[in-house]
Every structure is written in structure tokens, then in C-alpha cells.
């Protein structure tokens, strides 16, 4: 029996995640994204695994790996599988038309981008509140940076027009990524040229990766009041 979620927005995310999970077929190598929407997707894949579906998975975070293991899902590495058939993940913002993204609120953006770059198809799952005309409308751009000299890296990001804030844990300590780095949440406001901004951020010494995902999205599954929609760039 399917359990309904009391929060309507969370229920929309769950529906979209289940739709994306239905794309996974026997024998695939699948990227498992991070965050709340991906958690619904992994649970659905766990249900299908219990029914006999067999695939290999590369998770984008330790949390996603732990969740997948709890369902018995087979985890593999890039050493054995350098190419991923299908990567499914969420996003914090989706720019309508281009399908460029802001990702990284969960702090796994570096691993998420590695997995997306290795994937034949990258499918993003969101509820309709994540759709924006321009990136930066609601969300800052997370930037993963080295711990050494992060203050100088922050200053150079602010020279690009950002308000860069070191991400902290609820306990008041700096947030540390799975790769042992820091996150600077950089508020640029609405971004007129996300392609150029991504290039400028990447050129700064000390930057590991940014949460701007440019030109990588194959499809976006959007759950809204009118049901599910499938968007492609164009």
C-alpha cells in the first residue's frame, strides 16, 4: 500500500521521483542523486529491487550510499563502470528553456557533477516551485572550496558580485563535504549569464566546483498541480 504524505509539496516530489525511478531497467548502471527528492527515488528503486529488478548504482553521497545499501542495492565504482546509463537527481532551481540548474543545497555538488558528467542521460526531478526564469531567483550558488585559504577564495567570489557566506552546521561548525571541503553559499541575485558566471567561478584558485550545472540536463520531470510534466531543453 502506498503511503500518502501530508505535505502537498513533498507528495509532488515523491510522485516525480517515482516516475523517474520507472525509467530504470534491468542491467543499467544508475547514478543515485542526493537530497530529499532523490531519497524518494532510492526508496522506490529499493521497492523494485525487492521485486526482482537488478541494476548497478553509483551514489553521489555517503548518505545516498547508505540508503541504497539498506535496500540491498548493488553499489559499484567508476573503476568497473566508467559510463553511467542514467543519472537521476534533484535540483534547487531549474532555469526554464535552458534547463540549466543550481544544485548543492545538500552539499554533494562535486560528486553530483562528476556522476552527471559520466552519464548518458541526466534526468532531474523537481516540484514546480523549483522552476525559475533565471537562476539565482530564490537560491544562492553553492561553491565547494578548499579549506586552506578559503577566506581569499571568498574574497575573489565577492569580487564577481557575490555575497559569499560560509555554510555552517546546525551546531555552529563549518559544514564539511564528503570530500573534506567547505561550501560557500554565494548570492549573486538573478544571473543574467549563467554560462559566463560558471566559467569565471571555475577560474578562481581554491574553487573545487560550483553548483551551476550548465548544459548537462537531458530531461526534467516536474510534479505540479496539473500532474507530471516532462521538459527538455529548447
Enzyme catalytic residues: 112
Q: Residue 150 and residue 166: Cα distance in Å, rounded?
A: 9
The DSSP string of 53-86 is: ---EEEESSHHHHHHHHHTTPEE--TTT--SEEE
Residue recorded with cell 523494485: 48
Q: Residue 153 and residue 55: Cα distance in Å, rounded?
A: 41
CB atoms inside a 10 Å sphere around CB 177? 22
* β 131-132/227-231 pair status: unpaired
Q: Residue 121 and residue 30: Cα distance in Å, rounded?
A: 10
Partnered with residue 84 across adjacent β-strands are 119
Q: By C-alpha distance, which of 19, 16, 12, 215 is closest to 113?
A: 215
Q: Residue 130 and residue 82: Cα distance in Å, rounded?
A: 31
Amino acid at each position: 500500500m502506498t503511503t500518502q504524505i501530508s505535505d502537498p509539496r513533498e507528495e509532488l516530489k515523491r510522485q516525480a521521483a517515482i516516475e523517474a525511478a520507472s525509467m530504470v531497467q534491468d542491467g543499467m548502471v544508475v547514478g543515485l542523486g542526493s537530497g530529499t527528492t532523490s531519497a524518494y527515488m532510492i526508496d522506490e528503486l529499493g521497492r523494485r529491487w525487492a521485486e526482482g529488478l537488478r541494476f548497478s548504482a553509483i551514489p553521489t553521497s555517503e548518505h545516498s550510499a547508505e540508503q541504497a545499501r539498506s535496500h540491498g542495492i548493488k553499489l559499484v565504482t567508476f573503476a568497473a563502470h566508467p559510463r553511467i546509463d542514467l543519472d537521476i537527481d534533484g535540483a534547487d532551481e531549474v532555469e526554464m528553456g535552458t534547463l540549466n540548474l543550481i544544485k548543492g543545497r545538500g552539499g554533494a555538488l562535486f560528486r553530483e557533477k562528476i556522476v552527471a558528467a559520466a552519464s548518458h542521460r541526466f534526468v532531474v526531478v523537481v516540484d514546480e516551485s523549483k522552476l525559475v526564469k533565471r537562476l539565482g531567483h530564490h537560491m544562492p550558488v553553492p561553491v565547494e572550496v578548499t579549506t586552506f585559504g578559503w577566506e581569499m577564495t571568498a574574497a575573489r567570489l565577492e569580487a564577481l558580485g557575490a555575497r559569499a557566506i560560509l555554510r555552517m552546521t546546525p551546531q555552529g561548525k563549518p559544514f564539511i563535504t564528503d570530500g573534506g571541503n567547505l561550501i560557500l553559499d554565494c548570492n549573486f541575485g538573478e544571473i543574467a549569464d549563467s554560462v559566463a558566471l560558471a566559467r569565471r567561478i571555475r577560474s578562481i584558485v581554491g574553487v573545487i566546483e560550483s553548483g551551476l550545472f550548465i548544459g548537462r540536463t537531458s530531461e526534467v520531470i516536474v510534479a505540479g498541480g496539473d500532474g507530471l510534466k516532462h521538459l527538455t531543453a529548447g
